[in-house]
């Protein structure tokens, strides 16, 4: 049973102290071996109660995330449960895309391990995609999958499959009545679309809901090669007061300087982290609860990256520093 919001935020203030600290992550990254890095993680209390069989890294992550999602069900007022659900759905979307692509190329749908953390059991999603019965999903997403059934009957384009499903997910999220969801997914769309322009991907790859119109994005595309300074001005004019466009502009300026689209991807990651972090002190909304969940998911990504690198003998100097940044 979910608690009242005030009680939930009060509990969260205590619980969030258990998040991994930057110092712990730094010690893990600096550890001389996989075993030492794993020991540091276990001593922090991360993933307590994890299953002992199988891959220890994945067992710890699965245990910690399972505890986190159970906590979300306790803390989130029932009328607001859709807020955490829509963020968790990104794991379902990953699995839907995976299962759908396997189906259309004729491979077994159980040949790849699914993502964890979604709101639908992976087995149910696998069965739904196999049968072509998407009625369990939100209408915007089920409609997109039914449309893909028609499209892929003629030809198979893996990129189009991903694009159509991602767009449907974005449309669904933006249709929900919550300011934080709208701000987050709108920002994600803007960064995704500018990155698509930089990579010269067709407009069909654009996500809906961002501040940039299709015409503005196509104008930026046309200016990049011949007039990069004008392209930068088109990203955000001095008269505009948009935080998201300011963040995109900073990343775009670095892209023009380095020639690497990774500069905009870095700006995207930092902006989305800032959105999740800045609302964690707001006791009048559910944002702190969502922020905690996103912090735990980000933490899992960092843990997986460090331990995988250590186990594979990859030096941490070869790992992008932004990939190790925690929320908060």
d(C-alpha 238, C-alpha 300), whole Å:
39
Q: Note whether 40 and 28 are within 8 A (CB).
A: yes
Say if domain 79-177 classifies as CATH 1.20.1690: yes
Residue 51: how many other CB atoms lie within 10 Å: 13
- pLDDT (tens digit, 9 = 90+) per residue, 284-319? 788 889 889 988 999 999 999 999 999 999 998 878
Query: Can you list the alpha helix ranges (DSSP code H) found in the chain?
Result: 5-15, 22-30, 34-43, 56-75, 81-104, 122-131, 139-154, 158-175, 179-198, 214-226, 228-235, 243-258, 262-278, 287-312
- Fold entry, domain 5-77+290-324: Topoisomerase I; Chain A, domain 4 (1.10.132)
Is 216 buried (19+), middle (13-18) or exposed (0-12) by CB count in 10 A? middle
pLDDT of residue 53: 66
Q: Which residues of the chain have pLDDT under 50?
A: 1
d(C-alpha 158, C-alpha 249), whole Å:
30
Q: Note whether 189 and 210 are within 8 A (CB).
A: yes
- Fold entry, domain 178-285: V-type ATP synthase subunit C fold (1.20.1690)
- Are 79-177 and 178-285 the same fold in CATH? yes
Q: 169-178 burial by CB neighbour count: b if 16+ within 10 A, else e?
A: bbbbbbeeeb
Residue 110: how many other CB atoms lie within 10 Å: 13
Q: Note whether 311 and 34 are within 8 A (CB).
A: yes
DSSP letter (8 states) at residue 17:
G
- pLDDT (tens digit, 9 = 90+) per residue, 169-186? 999 999 999 999 999 999
Contacts of 17 (CB under 8 A, 6+ apart): none
For the record, the structure tokens of 327 come out as 């929320």
Residue bearing tokens 């990774």: 262
Is 86 buried (19+), middle (13-18) or exposed (0-12) by CB count in 10 A? buried
pLDDT of residue 284: 76
* Domain chopping of the chain, boundaries: 5-77+290-324, 79-177, 178-285
Q: Note whether 115 and 95 are within 8 A (CB).
A: yes
pLDDT of residue 237: 84
Question: CA angle, corner 169, sides to 118 and 82, nearest 5?
Answer: 55
């Amino acid at each position: 049973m979910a608690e009242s919001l005030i009680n939930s935020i009060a509990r969260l203030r205590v619980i969030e102290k258990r998040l991994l600290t930057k110092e712990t992550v730094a010690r893990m990254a600096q550890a001389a071996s996989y075993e030492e890095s794993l020991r540091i993680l276990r001593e922090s209390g991360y993933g307590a109660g994890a299953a002992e069989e199988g891959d220890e890294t994945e067992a710890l992550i699965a245990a910690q995330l399972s505890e986190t999602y159970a906590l979300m069900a306790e803390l989130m007022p029932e009328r607001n449960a859709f807020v955490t659900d829509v963020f968790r759905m990104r794991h379902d979307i990953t699995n839907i895309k995976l299962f759908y692509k396997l189906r259309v190329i004729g491979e077994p749908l159980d040949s790849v391990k699914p993502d964890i953390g979604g709101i639908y059991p992976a087995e149910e999603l696998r069965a739904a995609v196999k049968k072509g019965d998407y009625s369990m999903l939100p209408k915007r997403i089920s409609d997109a999958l039914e449309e893909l059934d028609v499209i892929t009957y003629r030809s198979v384009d893996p990129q189009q499959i991903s694009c159509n499903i991602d767009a449907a997910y974005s449309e669904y999220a933006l249709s929900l009545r919550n300011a934080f969801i709208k701000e987050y997914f709108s920002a994600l769309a803007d960064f995704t679309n500018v990155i698509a322009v930089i990579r010269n991907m067709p407009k069909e790859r654009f996500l809906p809901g961002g501040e940039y119109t299709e015409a503005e994005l196509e104008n930026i595309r046309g200016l990049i090669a011949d007039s990069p300074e004008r392209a930068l001005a088109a990203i955000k004019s001095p008269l505009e007061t948009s935080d998201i466009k300011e963040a995109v502009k900073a990343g775009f300026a670095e892209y023009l300087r380095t020639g690497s689209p990774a500069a905009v991807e870095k700006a995207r990651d930092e902006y989305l982290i800032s959105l999740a972090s800045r609302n964690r002190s707001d006791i009048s909304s559910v944002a702190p609860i969502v922020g905690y969940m996103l912090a735990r998911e980000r933490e899992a990504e960092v843990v997986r990256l460090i331990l995988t690198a250590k186990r594979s003998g990859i030096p941490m100097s070869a790992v992008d520093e932004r990939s190790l940044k925690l929320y908060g």
